[in-house]
Amino acid sequence: MDLVISTCGKIAEMFILILLGVMSFKCRLIDESTSKKLSNFLLMLVAPCLIINSYQIEYRPELIQGLFLCLVFSFISFALDVAIAQLVIRPKSGPNLAIDRMGIIYSNCAFIGIPLVEGVLGKEGVFYVSAYLTVFNILIWTHGVSLMVKGVSMKENLKNLNTPTIYAIFLGLLLFFLQFKIPSILLNPIASVGSMNTPLAMLIAGVNLAQSDFLRSFKSPRTYLMSFIKLIVIPMATLLMLMILRAERNTAFVVFICAACPTGAMTTMFALRYHKDARYASEMFCTTTFFSMITIPVLTFLAGILL
């Protein structure tokens, strides 16, 4: 029950930050150009700093076991998501097949998952989230790209993995296994920058929502169906999988929360990059983000009882 209460409290805090992001855009404190720069700043610097700082903890055998199990459960979770997406989104479902499937499979685990897990489980939670993010980044830049465009070469897929997040994960792991403690004169600034992750991520999410045609998002019956699959079917399937595998509570919570997050902004970014319907992708982002403020606390309550 404490886990559920903490999660609900964190969701409420994040919702307030999202509203501040909306207000900042409406009051012209942040424009579209600034939002894009802040998004890159978050992905390229803030999130990597948060990840590196999360690995600056004392070595414990149970942490290694939890990290490995989280990695395994993350792979299984994504395999399950891919299977569900292929089952419910048929090849003849329409021109937005790629966006529908990508929006279902790949969640906003970095922008929403990291701050939510960090708020509830602290540095240990972020430590475990790095395993989910590793799987996420590998798959979204390989499988995700293949959804958008056919015939992508392996060389191009490997090139796409050249991201600060991947480097931060491997650097953090190396420092953790070597038990090398970063001097405080460097670690303190890294920790300070990493602490910006939650407020900055939520403000950016609010700005993205403010830029979208929010009312239009709720006029499309298709987005309701996608929201139901993304926010109910996927998390429930993940929860069932974790129960069957008897996952340890904290590890299970990390994987479950990441799977329960709404459609990621990466779906819209990919739609723009590969000349798909970015407006439709934005509508899916809007509706799933809005409804996740209800579904995540409710499903977390259910998970707290069952796990």
d(CA 201, CA 194): 11
Show the CA angle centred on residue 31, arms to residues 29 and 37, nearest 5°: 110
The pLDDT value given to residue 247: 84
The pLDDT value given to residue 6: 65
**3-class SS string, 155-171:** HHHHHHCCCHHHHHHHH
Rounded to an integer, the average pLDDT of 181-207 is: 86
Higher pLDDT: 253 or 154? It is 253
The encoded tokens of residue 145 equal 């790209």
Higher pLDDT: 229 or 47? It is 229
Q: What is the pLDDT of residues 259-290, one digit of tens each?
A: 999 888 778 777 877 778 777 887 888 788 88
pLDDT band, very low/low/confident/very high, at 83 (cuts 50, 70, 90) = very high
The pLDDT value given to residue 117: 83
pLDDT band, very low/low/confident/very high, at 109 (cuts 50, 70, 90) = confident
Q: Which domains does the chain have, with CATH numbers?
A: 2-299 (1.20.1530.20)
The pLDDT value given to residue 104: 93
pLDDT band, very low/low/confident/very high, at 84 (cuts 50, 70, 90) = very high
Higher pLDDT: 118 or 4? It is 118
Judged by DSSP in three states, 107 sits in strand
Q: What is the pLDDT of residues 224-256, one digit of tens each?
A: 899 999 999 999 999 999 999 988 888 888 999
Q: What is the pLDDT of residues 137-149, one digit of tens each?
A: 788 878 888 888 7
Rounded CA Rg of the chain: 18
Rounded to an integer, the average pLDDT of 83-94 is: 85
The pLDDT value given to residue 148: 82
pLDDT band, very low/low/confident/very high, at 131 (cuts 50, 70, 90) = confident
Q: Helices (DSSP H) in the chain: which residue ranges?
A: 2-26, 32-41, 47-54, 61-88, 97-105, 114-121, 123-140, 143-148, 154-160, 164-178, 184-194, 197-211, 214-217, 221-228, 234-244, 249-260, 265-273, 278-306
The pLDDT value given to residue 75: 93
The pLDDT value given to residue 260: 92
How much of the chain exceeds pLDDT 90, in percent? 21
Higher pLDDT: 15 or 231? It is 231
Question: Who contacts 254 (Cβ-Cβ below 8 Å, separation ≥6)?
Answer: 70, 117, 121, 125, 128, 129, 132
Q: What is the pLDDT of residues 205-221, one digit of tens each?
A: 778 778 776 677 677 78
d(CA 125, CA 127): 5
How much of the chain exceeds pLDDT 70, in percent? 91
Per the CB < 8 A criterion, the answer to whether 133 and 110 are in contact is yes
Closest C-alpha to 298, from 254, 236, 244 = 236
Higher pLDDT: 51 or 101? It is 101
Higher pLDDT: 20 or 278? It is 20
